[in-house]
Structure 1
Amino acid sequence: MNFEHIRIDHGESIDWIVLNRPDRANAMSNAMLDEFSVALELLKDEGAPVVGIRGEGKGFCSGFDLEQVGKMGDAAVDPVADRARLQRNLDRWMAIWDHPKPVIAAVHGYCLAGATQMCVFADITVVADDARIGEPTIPIGGGYLAPVWSTLVGPKRAKELAFVPGNAIDGPTAVEWGWANHCVPAADLIASVEGLAARIALTPPEVLRIKKLSINRAAEAQGFRLATAHVADMDALLHQAPAVQAVKRRGDEIGLKALIAEYRSAPTSPLKPYSRDKRD
């Protein structure tokens, strides 16, 4: 198929789904999300034994495109439609979890908001040493990301990340926290993942499929699937709250960039003394 917002790069051991909107920081538009789901479905029964996800350009993905997906101007949101939209995106990521092939996310540069959620559902995540992995800066979500993060990093770290607007961790910290498997030099990211895929491909596809299913079942017994079951409900509920409506109106008044600047602060990892006035 001919895609507009992604592409598929075929290889011997790994087929890459490449997020390909570098002029928009690979922000996930509705069209990109639909194409991503189609590509994932196509690769179930054809191509290489491993699927990879990466981003074109300076970073992996800046999250959902706020001009289309949950846009700021939607002050009065239909909660039923909003919940359906949020759940539909979770279902897209669950298709990664349930995919018959191992799926590896290769993260470089920025990986923000909904993009971090996508990576949680990948089987293996490899990050570059220049990676910045973080929460949205504008606090209008109700726990759409952090509950899923908590399955990897634990509730205390998930709360630390979620409570501070725009909080972020770097590549080495992502490995330390258990969010990622490996951190490698940015220049070696693709080659490292392709080398990993080549070693995975030594295992027959039928064996890989059952190994993945068995480990997934163990994770689900510990609550992975349950952790995702209510996040769309919580987020849709909070989108109706007066405080969130006020933030959205503020964004309409001053613009998205200015609103982000009002909430931007220093990450909490590593934790250092902080002055709001100095913004450092």
Structure 2
Amino acid sequence: MAGPYQTIRVDHEPALSWIVLDRPEAANALSPQLLDEFSDALDRLQSEGGPVIAIRGEGRGFCSGMDLGSYGASDTGPADPMADRNRLHDNVQRWLKMWDHPKPIITAVHGYCMAAAAQMCVFADITVVADDVRIGEPTIPIGGGFIAPAWVSLVGHKRAKEFAFVPGNSIDGPTAVTWGWANHCVPAADLIGAVRGLAVRIALTPSAVLRLKKLSINRAAEAGGFRQALSGIAEIDALLHLAPAVLEVRARMKEKGLKAVIQEFKVPPTTPLVAPKE
């Protein structure tokens, strides 16, 4: 495989090939370079590597979401709405490469899985989470209509709304399984071994059969509206980025700093739901 990549790593085993998000010093944030390398690896793994692909993160967590420093998140002026829409659309197309990939793809999620990373995992065929995982929305509400709509086919619209409406909302591993976002929750120390064992069992099925099984199930999901649900999310998110309320929050970020504004919106998750203390 061509390389070396600088922000990801590809490790081959007999039954599977790992794509490892490898920016632990930046919480594996999705920079433009990482996204490009990720797409290149998916393309190459169509004809190279093991019969199953698994994706994991190096370090303390899976991925913290988009690398905000690479996208001018601290700017207060409005972005070019079409450029913003095109960037968001391109990201959805990257995830659809996972959905349309000829090989089964498993995401192995530990630590934190935030924002766009929580969207990415929806497009995997199987998701296994560690019992230390926290799957979350962005803490600061400066976007919207982009992540949670991709969840609807898995968790239903009411749970997707509960997840999205509270800034920085999050769910844990057992909740992710109960909601249908993940297949299994395992002890953190067993995550890699559990995914490896699953891949070994999947690899017993011939690759040509796996490809058609995946295609058949995807078509059933798409008949239920999966792909259609994604058709407008880039436009809605780009529109919201220009809203006066969002620009005001971005101005506060510039004035007070990111950490201070995060504290303004930091609240407990709504799952499990508890009454506030008086």
Instruction: In structure 2, give the amino acid aligned to 1:153.
Output: V
Q: Which residue of 2 aligns with 1:152?
A: 154
Look up the equivalent residue of 1:94 and give its one-letter code: L
Q: Which runs of 5+ in 2 are unaligned?
A: none
Of 62-71 and 179-188, deviating more is 62-71
How big is the shift at 1:72?
Answer: 2.5
Q: Select which of 204, 207, 211 maps to 1:205.
A: 207
Match of 1:75 in 2: 77
Q: Read off the aligned partner of 2:231 and give its amino acid letter.
A: A
Q: Quote how far apart the aligned CAs of 1:141 are.
A: 1.1
User: Could you tell me which residue of structure 2 aligns to residue 29 of structure 1?
Assistant: 31
> Which runs of structure 2 are paired with 1:97-112 in the superposition (5 Å)?
97-112=99-114
In structure 1, give the amino acid aligned to 2:179: W
State the Cα deviation string for residues 108-162 of structure 1 (Å, max 9, x = none).
0000000000000000000000000010000011210011011100000000000
Change (3 A) 1:74 1:21: farther
Superposed structure 1 runs of 4+ greater than 4 Å apart: none
Distance 2:191 2:17 in 1: 15
Structure 1: state its 5+ residue gaps.
none
**Shift of residue 75, structure 1, vs aligned partner:** 2.4
Which string of whole-angstrom CA distances, capped at 9 and with x for unpartnered residues, describes residues 58-112 of structure 1?
0000000100135221522000000000000000000000000000000000000
- Secondary structure in 2 aligned to 1:211? helix
TM-score (norm 1): 0.97
Secondary structure class of the residue paired with 2:65: coil
- Find the aligned partners of 2:84 and 2:258 in 1 and give their Cα distance: 21
Show CA shifts across 1:24-47 (max 9, x none). Answer: 111111111111000111100111
Q: Which TM-score applies when normalising by structure 2?
A: 0.98
Output the CA distance in 2 between the equivalents of 1:166 and 1:76. Answer: 23
Q: 2:117 aligns with which of 115, 118, 122?
A: 115
1:270 partnered with 2:272 = yes
AA of the residue aligned to 1:161: F
Aligned equivalents of 1:120, 1:70: Cα separation in 2 = 26
Measure the CA separation in 1 of the matches of 2:72 and 2:16: 33
Letter in 2 for 1:53: I
Letter in 1 for 2:149: P
**Structure 1 residue 242 and structure 2 residue 244: aligned?**
yes
> Superposition pairs for residues 102-251 of structure 1, below 5 Å?
102-251=104-253
| SS of the residue 2:135 aligns to | strand
Q: Is the 8 A contact 2:76 2:254 kept in 1?
A: no
In structure 2, the partner of 1:53 is 55
Identity of aligned residues (%): 65
Q: CA deviation at 1:22?
A: 0.3
How many residue pairs end up in the alignment?
276
